[in-house]
Structure 1
């Protein structure tokens, strides 16, 4: 009888957590949408003037990014002995993106949502952590590869300068320290963790789950290689979206102009202090496009259109999907 009571209490607490978490996310999403309603209106106005065929292409490209994410999760689940269709996992990608946007927290909000959603679907906690570890390692590995590729392109275009090199250097440090540090934590006891890490608010709570994550998935080379390729494909698809936006407003430029511009803007967002990179992404992307020969007005227009598809448009279905997943 006592065991049954404990289960009922646990279920009640879980339901309350989901209800509160969903409510906070929805409220935060509403606040962000209202605060940036001007940018959303600007996106709508610019989109109405662009060629519709290119806009449809951009939408399909963004949908493809969510299926890449879904494929990563599907493969990781399959290695853990569970199967889930890509159609059922793709909405999780949209909802996770909305969670990260609604409550800026370095991706932790999306992680909390991801665990809650998978737990609701009956996925064991250790498999969830293994999936997140694979996702983390493959993400930064792919990020480093596309960063190096963009540097080569900038060198080819003679667009390398000290501030670009400094940005890439800082990013490389972050991209190496985070995954390596996460793996190191697995081999350290709580007493052995450096004191400066313990002083960071919430750092132990963030690292502890990764420290307990199983390494079985990481020992599968084919899984790691495939997930790195899929993570890289997401960067490519986002870069193509920027290229398509340039084409939509009559700027017939090479994809190799859009690619390094998007990558550097993403890097600035990653290492910058501004949540979501609102303002910093746009400034970096426009600056790079200008550096590579695009005039200011079309560079700004294409960037705003890109952000509409990658940032603002997913928030609409994200509201509904988040509520559904945490119900």
Structure 2
């Protein structure tokens, strides 16, 4: 067997790893069931809060969450348009819903939903290289926005006199993660098909990226205007999330400043990224509630607002997200017709 054949054998197409996708979907299905059982009390609390909350503010919160799915989809659309493989926004929003659902259920530093993104876009008729570019640029944009807003959060905490060395250390640790993941994607893209050490190839994030990053057109990854556009779309996720938390607190009769909601949103997101507990059990809630309490919000009100926010971001999309994810895995598990490799 030649060296080139060994490389090909080591790196099958992501869409051809149906057994891996099946196992992932099985874990996800069990995870949803366990999550529902373990968090049944939270679900009951969410229902109780819905009953006593102001209906108008609840409608506003639901509308804001719709914007998050549109923002993610718009970032992909910018890349696909630039790659001359356009798709209408309404066809991308279901993909965004299933991806954000997977990211919530299996955080893994935000990598949970990337397993199927490329395959879903290819299924919709997008050339594989353009789909891979959408994945890499969305990673870069997401973590660039996340890193900038983490620093903004630390500055706001300093302005409130709450920037302790512990919080500074947590933010610094997150910044290392935020720089490492897109940096890893670009490094794998530049090094091409040269084999890695077995240890690196078996790391989950490396294993996911390794099969796809080499196919992204270099011209798209060097387009600074495109990167800024995708970053802006991902920045909207955090801003809209903070606005949703603010609206949830208003719905419960506990108004807070936007800066407080923003700090809590970022604090919860950072804790969830650094502590990828299976199914995200309580990690975001702990971070968000702790930040709200640190800024003077009564803990019962902070927990109630955070749980209401999680109801909109996780519980309400749970069923449609799971159904869309199931359809995505069925698509991936279909056998792909092998094509002859064209050598220039």
Cα deviation 1:302-323 (Å, max 9, x = unaligned): 0110111112211121133334
Deviation at 1:246, TM superposition (A): 1.1
1:53 aligns with 2:56: yes
In 1, Cα distance between equivalents of 2:141 and 2:67: 18
1:85 aligns with 2:127: no
Alignment match, 1:8: none
Q: Decide which moves more: 272-281 or 237-246.
A: 272-281
Counterpart of 1:277 in structure 2 is 280
| Mapped pair 1:186 → 2:196 | no
Distance 1:35 1:229 in 2: 36
Structure 1 match to 2:264:
261
What CA distance in whole angstroms lies between the structure 1 residues aligned with 2:239 and 2:148? Answer: 11
Would the alpha carbon gap of residues 298 and 99 (structure 1) be closer, same or farther in structure 2, given more than 3 Å must change? same
Change (3 A) 1:206 1:65: same
RMSD: 2.7
What corresponds to 2:220 in structure 1?
217
Name the CA distance, whole Å, in 1 between partners of 2:90 and 2:295.
39
Q: Deviations over 1:176-201 (max 9, x none)?
A: 12212221223336667467534646
* Distance change (3 Å), C-alpha of 1:179 and 1:16: closer
Q: Secondary structure at the match of 2:191?
A: coil
Q: Indicate how the Cα distance of structure 1 residues 84 and 205 shifts in structure 2: closer, same or farther if over 3 A, else same.
A: closer
In 2, the alpha carbon distance for the partners of 1:68 and 1:242 equals 18
Structure 2: where are the runs of 5+ without partners?
Answer: 1-14, 332-344
Is residue 159 of structure 1 aligned with residue 166 of structure 2? no
Structure 1, unaligned runs of 5 or more = 1-12
Aligned length: 315
CA-CA distance at 1:286 after TM superposition: 1.0
- The TM-score normalised by the length of structure 1 is 0.87
* Aligned match of 1:139: 142
Q: Give me the whole-angstrom Cα distance separating, in 1, the residues matched to 2:326 and 2:183.
A: 35
Q: Is the 8 A contact 1:29 1:101 kept in 2?
A: no
Q: Which shows bigger deviation, 115-124 or 186-195?
A: 186-195
- Indicate conservation of the 8 Å contact 2:110/2:273, yes or no: no
**Deviation (angstroms), 1:106:** 5.0
Q: Which moved more, 1:120-129 or 1:61-70?
A: 120-129
Alpha-carbon distance between aligned partners in 1 of 2:219 and 2:197, rounded to the nearest angstrom: 26
Is contact 1:62–1:309 with CA below 8 Å preserved after alignment? yes
Match of 1:303 in 2: 306
Q: How many angstroms apart in 1 are the aligned matches of 2:64 and 2:294?
A: 26
Residues 18, 162 of structure 1: alpha-carbon distance in 2 compared, 3 angstrom cutoff: closer
2:336 paired residue number: none
* C-alpha distance in 2 between matches for 1:244 and 1:222: 33
Q: Conserved in 2, the CA contact under 8 Å of 1:136 and 1:179?
A: yes
| Deviation, structure 1 residue 214 | 2.5
Looking at structure 1, the residues matched to 115 and 181 of structure 2 have their Cα atoms a distance apart, in angstroms, of 19
2:116 to 113, 122, 142: 113
Q: 1:279 to 1:32 in 2, by over 3 A?
A: closer
Q: 1:74/1:46 Cα in 2 relative to 1: closer, same or farther (>3 Å)?
A: same
Deviation sequence 1:185-237 (CA, Å, 0-9, x none): 23336667467534646734533422443322122222111111111111000
- Partner residue of 2:248? 245
TM-score by length of 2: 0.83
